[in-house]
A and B are shown apart, each in its own frame.
Chain A
Amino acid sequence: MSSFELRVPASVDEAIAALRVEDAGTVAVLAGGTDLLLDLDDRRTAPSRVVSLRRLPWKTLDWVDGALTIGSTLPLRSLEEDPEVARRLPGLWEAVRNVGSVALRHRATLGGNLGRSAPASDLVPMLLALDAEVDLIGPAGARRLSVDEFVRASRRTALRPGELIRSVRVPESRPSAYLWQRVRPANDISQIAVAAAYSPSEHRWQLAAGGMPPRPVRLPEVERLLGTGVPSEPVLRAAADRASREVALTTDQRASEEYRRRLVGALLARAVRAVAPHAEGRA
């Protein structure tokens, strides 16, 4: 006797219809399952129905005019293996290949990572620094939100009942870097991670930090301090110092607040230095 009923819809319409459950039932969406199955084991969620997205035509990766659209059910390993991702979005490539292990990345997906919205997600900070957007589809049609609008807190997003994440769009190629600190480098969760990117079209830095509850955040004040182009060392140090003081940090089982403050500043300075040679004026 199964604890839930598994539905495997063959079309998007069928999938949206399958998300409607009668009476007191609850529904969970299954992409790669690498997080959902842990939640099922821990009884953090006990749905009466699980809707698998594996038959939907969303395992896609498309480059159009420098913009990348990633289907929500594409395995992370396929994203990592695309040579253009490493070349045009090096920070995203670095973030993706540090999620779990190879075997995990063969099933884990970007849509699942966003839907789960883990505070220590290694992908959300980089998506924030890349101005990525999420395309949703549901009973009321399609809509697009920025990742910043979409992610709320752990397991909480702007997704409405009946909606699915269809794809994620990265609007432009950006020199970028993703740096993290963990207790163990492999197969562990980041205590702090910093994503840095430089927008060649808007001539500015975009930064984000993650690894701490309740969610990864952008760092607009620090971005302003960095200004345009390659920052001088004093400017960079002031920006790193600002980041250390401004990000709301807490102590939890992974790291203390004090340690996280030091990490945010140190990783931010390193990430900006890594990107700087590829920002304008130094290319």
Chain B
Amino acid sequence: MSSARFEFRVNGRPTPVPELPDDERLLDTLRWRLGLKGTKEGCRTGDCGACTVLVDGRSTLSCLTLAREVEGTSVTTIEGAGTDADLAHIVSAFDRAGALQCGYCTPGFVMALTGLVKERGRSAPVAELLDGLQGNLCRCTGYASIARAVALARSEAP
């Protein structure tokens, strides 16, 4: 079935992927076939959250998802900040809070938080948003600034 036609939307754009192997992970399709290197590979075992993207608005570990399983869905990556208002809002909060050190975990944190905001709304309690980021690890341990970004995103709720 490797030759079967495959199409999904990526950051709002219809995106066909020719000759997508059945066993390919969404992470690899995004990075290596579509060149969207903002999505990071950390552990590849679902423990670090660096590969988090949105599938139909819901945070998803792209390392533990077969690309073919998201056929027909709408995928948003960190590169989609120009097409998604919630994502742009969170990127801006991280920016103004200086919520990154090496930056490797940042796209995963931003996508996970964007997903939470889509689920719970921008006025969700800070504690609930922080709780929902438990699956994202920062090896620089820059969590305090990330928590400030969460508070900033929250306090600017319209």
The reply on A278 being an interface residue by CB < 8 A is no
Interface size class, chain A: 20 to 34
Contact of A101 among B22, B23, B25, B134 (CB under 8 A): B134
Q: A38-B46, A102-B116 are in contact. Are A6 and B134 (CB under 8 A)?
A: no
Q: Which residues of B contact A54 (CB under 8 A)?
A: 69
CB contacts under 8 Å to B, within A68-114, are 77, 100-104, 106-107
In the complex, which residues of chain A have a beta carbon less than 8 angstroms from the beta carbon of B136? 101
Whether the pair A5, B1 counts as a contact (CB closer than 8 A) is yes
B1 touches A107 (CB 8 A): no
User: Is the pair A33, B135 in contact by a Cβ cutoff of 8 Å?
Assistant: no
Q: How large is the interface on B (under 10, 10 to 19, 20 to 34, 35 or more residues)?
A: 20 to 34
| A-contact bits for B23-56, CB 8 A (1 contact / 0 none) | 1110000000000000000001111010010010
Give the nearest-CB partner of B62 in chain A.
A103
Residue on A with the closest CB to B44? A41
Interface residues of A in 18-50 (CB under 8 A from B): 30, 33-34, 37-38, 40-41, 50
- A51-80: which have CB < 8 Å to B? 52, 54, 77
Task: Tell whether A259 is near chain B: CB-to-CB under 8 Å.
Answer: no
User: Given A33-B65, A107-B64, A186-B134, do A40 and B58 touch, yes or no (CB 8 Å)?
Assistant: no
CB of B93 closer than 8 Å to a CB of A: no
Question: Is B61 in the interface zone, CB < 8 Å from A?
Answer: yes
Chain A residues with CB under 8 Å of B21's CB are 1-2
Residues of chain A lying within 8 A (CB to CB) of residue B101: none
A199-243 CB mask vs B (1 if < 8 Å, else 0) is: 000000000000000000000000000000000000000000000
Partner of B60, one of A1, A50, A106, A186: A106
Q: Is B76 at the interface (CB under 8 A from chain A)?
A: no
A54 to B73 CA separation, bound complex (whole angstroms) = 12
B112 shortest CB reach to chain A, Å = 6
Q: Which residues of A contact B112 (CB under 8 A)?
A: 101-103
Contacts of A30 in B (CB 8 A): 66, 69
Residues of A within 8 A of B49 (CB): 101, 103
Q: Is the CB of A106 within 8 A of B23?
A: no
Pick the contact of B22 from A4, A100, A106, A107 — CB < 8 Å? A4
Interface core residue of B44, B135, B136 (most chain A CB under 10 Å): B135
Instruction: Select which of B22, B24, B46 is within 8 A of A104 by beta carbon.
Output: B46
B115 near A102: Cβ-Cβ < 8 Å = yes
CB distance from B56 to the nearest CB of A (A): 10
User: What distance in Å separates the Cβ of A244 from its nearest Cβ neighbour in chain B?
Assistant: 30
CB-nearest residue of chain A relative to B24? Answer: A2
Residues of A within 8 Å of B12, CB to CB, are none
State whether B46 touches A34 (Cβ < 8 A). Answer: yes
In the complex, the 7 A-B pairs of residues with the closest C-beta atoms, listed nearest first: A101-B135, A186-B134, A6-B22, A2-B22, A103-B59, A2-B21, A2-B23
Measuring CB to CB, which residues of chain B are less than 8 angstroms from any residue of chain A?
1-2, 21-25, 44-47, 49, 52, 55, 58-61, 63-66, 68-69, 112, 115-116, 132, 134-136
